Structure 1
């Protein structure tokens, strides 16, 4: 592959995987909720397409990454692909986050924020509430979740279909991005 194209693709991939991970200077960002896989309460085996847009550039086309996500009581495993190459592998056992990165994957890709977003979408609301810092509030119902910093909406998650076989729209107002997760159950 042409090195110039590779750099551009990996730059775009950085946006897609981190979804503008660096919070604005005046905001502390969302809490890094890293819940143990055992609290997920069910196995996951999903094929996903992630489409990410910065809210400040909502008219631009989204950046897209394909992901394989698996989880059971012992661990969560994620593999991210771009241009038929694996660019990121993550494994989380509730204690340690193990990561393998493609050499061209930009440093802005923050695996801790990726894990946080996964927890906010898939882990039970009650488990998330128990780990929120003081001043944060999570409201949840069958259609989605809303995370508040005091009385200010910081993040919303909208379920369209089921979490495992449908679409999830995550809107992170605090850190400035929109993430559309399109999932299908992996298997025969």
Structure 2
């Protein structure tokens, strides 16, 4: 098969993958632990606090649960009106797109992910990582996010009313530049998020 034929086949397969997606209206509040629930926060105050007009961040996300491990690329875009999170498979296939306008959360995701995949959890985790602690706590019920001393540049813990933990560690004091590790003890989940320059 020549190069042109391969490209035509690749474009055809990509169009099939993008056609096999579904639109889903998502909940803007998600349970993070047995007791703690987080409701997404608008982007306007974060951009003011960060002294940015717009933020575009490409990341490699490694997800481990028990013995299973997965990898995906994300593109996080913030402007005063909306937060957009796009997930791509390592070979570039679109897996999901989430758009949060401060009121509603719209999702388009590939049918390949199945009905159990809930990308809004990843968007909530992104806000835990990048939003100021006090703003997260305004949107959090049944728990509290606190800064902790540790041997990394920055550490935070979300502790719920029953003592369940989500731990966030950063290798840079500026979260937007940091490699971030997230451990969700109760679910045996570990995430490592690396910005890509």
What TM-score range do you get, normalising by the shorter chain?
A: 0.7 to 0.9
Q: 1:40 aligns with which of 43, 46, 59?
A: 46
- Given the superposition, is the C-alpha separation of residues 144 and 169 from structure 1 closer, same or farther in structure 2, using an over 3 Å criterion? same
Q: 2:70 aligns with which of 63, 85, 88?
A: 63
- Report which structure shows greater RCO (CA 8 Å, sep ≥6): 1
Deviation at 1:104, TM superposition (A): 1.6
> Deviation per CA, 1:5-25, whole angstroms, max 9, x where unpaired?
xxxxxxxxxxxxxxxxxx8xx
Deviation at 1:175, TM superposition (A): 2.6
Mapping of 1:1-188 within 5 angstroms?
Answer: 28=34, 30-41=36-47, 42=50, 43-54=54-65, 56-57=66-67, 62-82=69-89, 83-134=91-142, 136-140=143-147, 143-150=154-161, 152-161=163-172, 162-185=174-197
Q: Which runs of 5+ in 2 are unaligned?
A: 1-8, 10-30
The 8 Å contact of residues 70 and 76 in structure 1, kept in 2 or not, is answered as yes
Cα distance in structure 2, aligned partners of 1:102 and 1:29:
30
TM-score (norm 1): 0.74
TM-score (norm 2): 0.71
SS in 2 for 1:104: helix
Deviation at 1:163, TM superposition (A): 2.0
Cα distance in structure 2, aligned partners of 1:47 and 1:104:
22
Q: Which runs of 5+ in 1 are unaligned?
A: 2-22
The 8 Å contact of residues 139 and 147 in structure 1, kept in 2 or not, is answered as yes
- The aligned length equals 157
Runs of 4+ in 1 over 3 A off after TM superposition: none
Give the number of the structure whose alpha-carbon radius of gyration is greater: 2
Deviation at 1:33, TM superposition (A): 2.8
Cα distance in structure 2, aligned partners of 1:29 and 1:49:
29
The 8 Å contact of residues 36 and 140 in structure 2, kept in 1 or not, is answered as no
- Given the superposition, is the C-alpha separation of residues 113 and 30 from structure 1 closer, same or farther in structure 2, using an over 3 Å criterion? farther
SS in 1 for 2:59: strand
Cα distance in structure 2, aligned partners of 1:129 and 1:38:
16
